[in-house]
Amino acid sequence: MKYTAIINEKSYAIEIGPNNTVLINGEPHNADFRNIEGTTLYSLLLDNVSWEVLAERNGDEYRVLIDGELHIVEVQDERTRKLAKATAQNAGATGDVIVKAPMPGLVRAINASVGDAVAAKQGIVILEAMKMENELRVPRAGVVKEIRVKPGDKVDQGQVLVIVK
Please tell me the distance from the alpha carbon of residue 126 to that of residue 151, in angstroms, as a whole number. 9
Reported in sequence order, the residue ranges of the chain that DSSP labels E, i.e. its strands, are 2-7, 10-16, 21-24, 27-35, 41-46, 49-58, 61-66, 69-77, 97-100, 105-110, 117-118, 123-129, 132-137, 142-147, 154-155, 160-164
Q: Which of 128, 131, 126 is nearest to 110 (CA)?
A: 126
3-state secondary structure of 99: strand
Could you tell me the pLDDT band of residue 146, with boundaries at 50, 70 and 90? very high
Could you tell me the pLDDT band of residue 26, with boundaries at 50, 70 and 90? very high
* Mean pLDDT for the chain overall: 87
Residue 67: the pLDDT is 81
Q: Which of 11, 33, 10 is nearest to 20 (CA)?
A: 33
Write the pLDDT tens digit of every residue in 71-100: 889 888 887 777 767 666 655 556 888 888
Write the pLDDT tens digit of every residue in 98-144: 888 877 889 999 999 999 999 988 889 998 887 778 888 887 889 99
Please tell me the distance from the alpha carbon of residue 111 to that of residue 140, in angstroms, as a whole number. 16
